[in-house]
Amino acid sequence: MFQRLSEALEVSVHPDLIAFYSRYWSDPLPARSSDGELSLLQVWNDDDMERLRSNLIGHALMLRKQKRPLTFFFACTEPDGDYFLSIDNETGVVLLEQPGKKPLRKLADSLADYLDTLEPLKIPDME
């Protein structure tokens, strides 16, 4: 999937993003950061992976149109989902973004550093 994504966008996808989405299949994973609650996006099956690829391509094309650096999302804020967390494809830093706007701020130097700061929350359907 990520090879096809790279070919479609004519860019190498950051390895942190590939590892994040390729390691496990799951429902979204709830977590808490120092800024509040969020949902780590995951894929459940091959169909989800294709939807993710389409969404990442759409996001990338929007950024190109706005002449902004390429980022790829991996989480959204909860409960409103008005913001999302992304990886800068060139540097690997984690950013807080709002759709259609420039990144608001840097959250961590890498995805691994950011994930280490999170507190896992119970998945609501399993409480």
CATH code for position 46: 3.40.1580.20
Percent of the chain clearing pLDDT 70 (strictly above): 98
List Cα–Cα distances, 69 to 5, 55, 59, 90, in angstroms.
17, 17, 11, 8
Nearest to 96 by CA among 114, 116, 112, 117: 114
Enter the pTM of the model: 0.91
In a domain, 126, yes or no: no
35/5 Cα distance (integer angstroms)? 31
Quote the number of domains for the chain: 1
Tell me: pLDDT of 19 over 60.
yes
In a domain, 116, yes or no: yes
The confidence score (pLDDT) of residue 58 equals: 93
The confidence score (pLDDT) of residue 126 equals: 55
Range of the domain at 103: 2-120
Neighbour-count burial for 74-84, b at 16+ CB within 10 Å, e otherwise: bbbbbeeeebb
In a domain, 9, yes or no: yes
Give the residue-averaged pLDDT of 90-104: 94
94/15 Cα distance (integer angstroms)? 13
